[in-house]
């Protein structure tokens, strides 16, 4: 038996997230079906991040066990013809038998994309949240600095998350603008359910001058979801990269 690691990109618009659900199209089920068509055996697919409905990915990671003789690096080419156009295997390789996409991850990088202005192009609206008017990027950047470090992020976790600890380490948060698009990039050792989207919604409030940048410290210390901003729409979120090359372990309750 061999373990194959897949790096997967997808447009999450048509899916109820990554994780398999009864009666609903998911990325996990679609990829597993493609593997079955190729190898004749439906695998137990292990995903690194259980992205939420409507969330996109450029580099989610999954693994499965197989007895197929196909070389590990060839699975990407072999599987893509069995997948719809909105899901692609970007890379594939053989991994050690003990490799676990979720528990062996060290850092994850997400981006949240926002388009400002009175009108949002239909080419952008599928992959970015639209905020009419302008956002103060400097204020958003100042607020974002308070989120860097190791904190209890209870204020940034959706209700009902089943995790033992809500302490996470955020190594970087940046807010940049290019013309009418603003990108919030967040990198850390793991994320709580909806954490990045709530963080983005809170930074948007600072950009609209509804929250003072320094209020981030009180929001974190308050450990109360009601203190933070609204959960930003799923379509603006992208899982960009999962790193397996550092110290520590990532923890993720899904995004």
Which residues does the annotation mark as catalytic?
52
Burial class (CB in 10 A: 0-12, 13-18, 19+), 44: exposed
3-class SS of residue 118: coil
Q: How far apart are CA 234 and CA 50, in angstroms?
A: 13
Structure tokens at 114: 């926002």
Measured CA to CA in angstroms, residue 184 lies from 88, 114, 174, 226 at distances of 24, 8, 6, 22
Residue 129's nearest CA partner among 179, 184, 87, 175 is 184
Strand spans (E) along 30-180: 46-47, 56-66, 87-95, 107-116, 129-131, 149-152, 167-178
């Amino acid at each position: 038996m061999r373990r194959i690691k897949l790096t997967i990109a997808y447009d999450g618009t048509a899916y109820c997230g990554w994780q398999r659900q009864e009666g609903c199209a998911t990325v996990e089920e679609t990829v597993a079906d493609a593997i079955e068509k190729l190898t004749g055996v439906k695998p137990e697919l292990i995903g690194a991040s259980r992205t939420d409905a409507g969330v996109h990915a450029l580099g989610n990671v999954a693994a499965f066990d197989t007895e197929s003789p196909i070389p590990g690096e060839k699975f990407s080419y072999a599987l893509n013809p069995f997948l719809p156009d909105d899901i692609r295997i970007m890379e594939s390789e053989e991994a050690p038998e003990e490799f676990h996409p979720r528990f062996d991850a060290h850092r994850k990088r997400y981006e949240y994309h926002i388009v400002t202005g009175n009108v949002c192009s239909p080419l952008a609206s599928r992959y970015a949240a639209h905020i009419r008017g302008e956002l103060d990027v400097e204020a958003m950047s100042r607020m974002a600095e308070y989120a860097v470090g190791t904190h209890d992020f209870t204020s940034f976790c959706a209700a009902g998350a089943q995790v033992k600890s809500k302490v996470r380490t955020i190594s970087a948060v940046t807010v940049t603008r290019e013309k009418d698009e603003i990108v919030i990039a967040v990198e850390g050792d793991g994320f709580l359910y909806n954490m990045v989207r709530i963080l983005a919604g809170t930074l948007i409030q600072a950009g609209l001058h509804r929250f003072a940048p320094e209020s981030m410290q009180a929001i974190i210390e308050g450990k109360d979801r009601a203190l933070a901003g609204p959960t930003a729409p799923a379509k603006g979120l992208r899982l960009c990269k999962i790193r397996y090359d550092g110290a520590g372990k990532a923890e993720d309750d899904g995004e």
